[in-house]
Structure 1
Amino acid sequence: MAGKINERRIAYDILSEMGKSESYKKSVIKLALDKYDYLEAKQKSFIKYLAGGVIERQITLDYIIGCFSKTPIKKMAKPILYILRMGVYQIMYMDAVPDSAAVNESVKLTQQLHFMGLKGFVNGVLRNVSRKKDKIQWPDPGESVESRISYLSVKYSQPEWIASMFLSEFGFKKTTEIFSFFLKTRPITVRFSSRFSSEELRSILAKMKKANNGNIEMRPSTLLHYAMDLSHTDNIRYLPGFEEGAFMVQDISSMLVTEIADLKKGETVIDVCAAPGGKSLHAADVLGGTGKVISRDISENKCILIRDNVKRMGYTNVTVEEHDASKHDETLENMADVLYCDLPCSGLGVIGRKPDIKMNTDLRSVMNLQQTQRKILNNVWNYVKPGGILIYSTCTLTTMENEDNYKWILENLPFTAVDISDRLPGKMKETETAKKGYIRIIPGEFGTDGFFIAKFKRNE
């Protein structure tokens, strides 16, 4: 049955489904792979790589198509545009696929979708791309801001507003480094649970090494002893130890929230925007079954996701509750020893993990998010006990969502910044702002996602 599956058609269906909405649905690829979970690992990898790659490189792909098509992108039928994007992606970025196969399979797909009259068009465009791919005239970065924005946008497939923002924030060289990191294929990072003994973990790791026909690669983190990078995992749910709750997928930058919090046994932690629960469960793990973690999010679906992870990981000191963080809850006043405020943000630090983010936001949305973040902070700050800790974090890089909010908290709420340099691993300790109570982690700088974490103590 699996042999009859057309992987390219599945990838096309994913792109078509995502195209039905003005905003990209990041779950579409996952849902499709779950539906076809019976396929061989190689087939699922092809589908994920092709569909995900087209999403990630869309701006670049459209530029290339525009170089070889007399019909403007905006005037193309959507199905034909999706087919061309897939074809160009295979030609430009999938070395294992011969150009001839990329062209021929695209023409076949055009026929299957009943666009018989456009087979020649698809064939002509893709054959031209194949023949002249080494002669494509890319934008010249030049010296002007405008030319550099155009170059960064096309070269690294980033919307011009993001290219402009990063160029202004980080300069040309650093922006190219960040954008290059976003496009790299990266391993999955997992955090191992302390509930398991060293002997039990050794047994699980030995079994994991044999997973995916022995092709899995495992590399311990150089920053945190309980973290590990995994490559070639196929479906991580099927790895030994997953169902038993031995580990949870979580990036190092996210784990640093609990490292910086410096939790003590018996403390109460409140996580106001917790889904999917990584930070809440990390806190529960550090507390070692003592104290209490109140893990909240705005919808029942998000709470179900947290509960599923709590159940799988086997923590008994976590309570999951549905609640809108922008609405004050007087029952939590002065309850938290530590308050996690990992608030809704633009997510520009994790584009490498979630490329749909760059298609789902704009500068106006970022400005609105700052107001949302401050509204939530205004409504939750007094959940912290006098002398307690507030951790503010985001997975983005914008100054208005990070440093500006750090200053806003100090100016408007009864908190004092806390030196975090002693809680940071490796060379992160040397970050200049750590003594001021915050760190902005640049994507790729330490091999992690982009993140911002600030620590405050409520005044007595």
Structure 2
Amino acid sequence: MRLHRNLCFAVIDGLHKIFNEGEYADKVIQQLLKRDKRWGSRDRGFVAETVYEIVRYKRLYAEIADVKAPFDRDNLWRIFAVWATLKGIKLPDWKYFTDTPTRKIKGRFDELSKIRKYRESIPDWIDELGEKELGADVWTKELAMQNEQADVILRVNTLKTTKQDLQLKLQSENIETEFIPDYPYALKLKERANVFMTEAFKEGWFEVQDASSQLVADFLDVKPGMKVVDSCAGAGGKTLHLASLLENKGQVIAMDIYESKLKKLKVRARRNGVHNIEMKVIDSTKPIKKLYGKADRLLIDAPCSGLGVLRRNPDSKWKLQPEFVDNIKKTQEEILEQYSKMVKPGGKMVYATCSVLPSENQNQIDKFLTSEAGKDFTFVKDNKILAYKSGFDGFYMALLEKKK
């Protein structure tokens, strides 16, 4: 493999923005990919995958390169040289690579690979927290899986088509997919491709949504005609799934504290052919109180540490802080206590997170059920999904029923 100067410069610029300016990796990569119209899919793939790979293994590569944050451009080139050497790529005779100690790099890699926090490239405090909550064996396997590149999974929009027809339509656009057993709405791409450019996407036949995330709406047990509240809707992946399960009959109330996210949902809903969603911004306690005792079904897709989706957001492990995790647990408790009041007697509620930590998951449910707000609810079932077992994102979901 030959390194091309303009592509390598794009990678270095991207790393500078992510590591030194705190920008989000996915946004940076979107910008980088628009940089040169002459780039083909292979060029764009190189830029995106190299940036993600170096972000994923920042700690390991920086340790081998013997550089410390904040990284100046020379340091970023050193980190890049470590990545290339470990990939077996021949370094060109550019000034950035003079005196690269190739043999020393391989030796340091062998040495550091014996230590989990370096091998999996994770901050000390997250490593300690994960081991404490999941045990060394499970945490070691989970971390290794969270460093694998995530598959691209589509969720068929059953309001417009079937999984079989979507597969054929994508095939006609040269995109090969396969069914995944036990995931009724999912198609997995055999090879990565820009699915957002397809006719099928423009016509609203599918959304991109991880297989684990697709299980949440199903878990809520909705039926056409129901009043369903998605209380932390965000840009609405699960909201749209709920709307399709309702067959556009009944009502989905999508709520979020960010109006900008609900605006994105509006656009997606139009493309999906969904017209039973009402948007509500949570700008005070009023919108919640108005719905007390009104919802047949409630989804709380709670804010969390995101430690189940590091494969998709590898930069989040460098942004996450211990105090954020402590604070988010308090937020989860408050949301459960307040939002659960929207469920009508005999109604059901799902609490879900994309975290693998019991303290954000089953422990929160146990605490809620013994609280004043939770005394009217009974536990039905839960699903603890670990990435290393499922092959998809780490997730948690619990179904509770309100007594009649």
Q: What's the TM-score once normalised by structure 2's chain length?
A: 0.91
Question: Which of 69, 80, 89 is 2:74 aligned to?
Answer: 80
Give the conservation status (yes or no) of the 8 Å contact 1:60–1:157.
yes
Q: How does 1:297-312 map to 2 (within 5 A)?
A: 297-312=256-271
Mapped contact 1:367–1:400 kept (Cα < 8 A): no
Amino acid across the alignment from 1:370:
K
Q: Secondary structure at the match of 1:190?
A: strand
Q: Which of 242, 246, 254 is equivalent to 2:201?
A: 242
Shift of 1:445: 0.8
AA of the residue aligned to 1:7: L
Is the contact made by 1:188 and 1:249 (CA closer than 8 Å) also made in structure 2? yes
SS at match of 2:98: helix
Rounded Cα–Cα distance in structure 2 between residues aligned with 1:347 and 1:302 = 18
Instruction: Give the match's secondary structure for 1:386.
Output: strand
Q: CA deviation at 1:43?
A: 1.0
Paired position in structure 1 for 2:16: 16
Return the match for 1:334 from 263, 270, 293.
Answer: 293
The residue type paired with residue 416 of structure 1 is F
Match of 1:190?
Answer: 154
CA 233–30 in structure 1, closer or farther in 2 if over 3 Å, else same: same
Relative contact order, higher structure (CA 8 A, sep 6+): 2
Out of 103, 109, 123, the position equivalent to 2:98 is 123
State how 1:294-373 maps to structure 2 within 5 Å. Answer: 294-324=253-283, 329-373=288-332
- Asked if the contact 2:185–2:214 (Cα under 8 Å) also holds between the matched residues in 1, the reply is no
The alignment partner of 1:351 has SS state of coil
* Contact 1:325-1:379 at 8 Å conserved across structures: no
Distance 2:157 2:25 in 1: 31
Aligned match of 2:385: 441
Q: Give the equivalent residue in structure 1 for 2:48.
A: 48
- Closer/same/farther in 2, CA of residues 341 and 332 from structure 1, 3 Å limit: same
Whether the aligned pair in 2 keeps the contact of 1:415 and 1:456 (CA below 8 Å) is: no
Unmatched runs of 5 consecutive residues or more in structure 1: 67-71, 108-118, 142-150, 420-436
Contact 1:327 1:376 in 2 (8 A): no
Alpha-carbon contact 1:33-1:44 (below 8 Å) kept:
yes
Cα distance change of structure 1 residues 165 and 37 upon mapping to structure 2, 3 Å threshold: farther
Q: Which runs of 5+ in 2 are unaligned?
A: none
**1:300 CA drift (Å):** 2.3
- Determine what percentage of the aligned residue pairs are the same residue: 26
Distance 1:315 1:35, change over 3 A: farther
Alignment match of 2:356 (pick from 384, 388, 397): 397
2:43 is the alignment partner of 1:99 = no
1:193 and 1:324 map into 2 onto residues whose CA distance is: 31
- What amino acid does structure 2 have at the position aligned with 1:100? L
Q: CA deviation at 1:208?
A: 1.8
Comparing 276-285 with 396-405, greater Cα deviation is found at: 396-405
8 Å Cα contact 2:235/2:264 also seen in 1: yes
Asked if the contact 2:183–2:215 (Cα under 8 Å) also holds between the matched residues in 1, the reply is no
In the TM superposition, residue 294 of structure 1 has moved relative to its aligned partner by 0.8
Alpha-carbon displacement from aligned partner over 1:49-90 (angstroms, at most 9, x marks no partner)? 111111111011011112xxxxx525x751112222222112
- 1:278 corresponds to 2:242: no
SS of 1:242 mapped into structure 2 = helix
Q: Quick check: which one's helix share is greater?
A: 1
**Residue type matched to 1:190 in 2?**
L
Q: Distance in 1 between matches of 2:323 and 2:116?
A: 21
- Paired residues of 2:384 and 2:396 also in contact (CA < 8 A): yes
Shift of 1:37: 6.4
Would the alpha carbon gap of residues 284 and 139 (structure 1) be closer, same or farther in structure 2, given more than 3 Å must change? same
Q: What does the per-residue CA deviation read over 1:123-142, in whole Å, with 9 as the maximum and x for residues that have no partner?
A: 21x2x1x234442252485x
Does the 8 Å CA contact 1:409/1:415 hold for their aligned counterparts?
no
CA spacing shift, 1:203–1:378, aligned 2, 3 Å: closer
**Residue 406 (structure 1) aligns with:** 365
Q: Structure 2 vs 1, CA of residues 159 and 269 (structure 1 numbering), >3 Å: closer, same or farther?
A: same
**Cα distance per residue 1:84-105 (max 9 Å; x no partner):** 2222112213x5xx3223xx35
1:409–1:90 Cα change, 3 Å: same
Say if 2:370 is the partner of 1:379.
Answer: no
Provide the C-alpha distance between the structure 1 equivalents of 2:284 and 2:37, rounded to a whole number of angstroms: 36
Q: Distance in 2 between matches of 1:368 and 1:247?
A: 35
1:206 counterpart = 2:168: yes
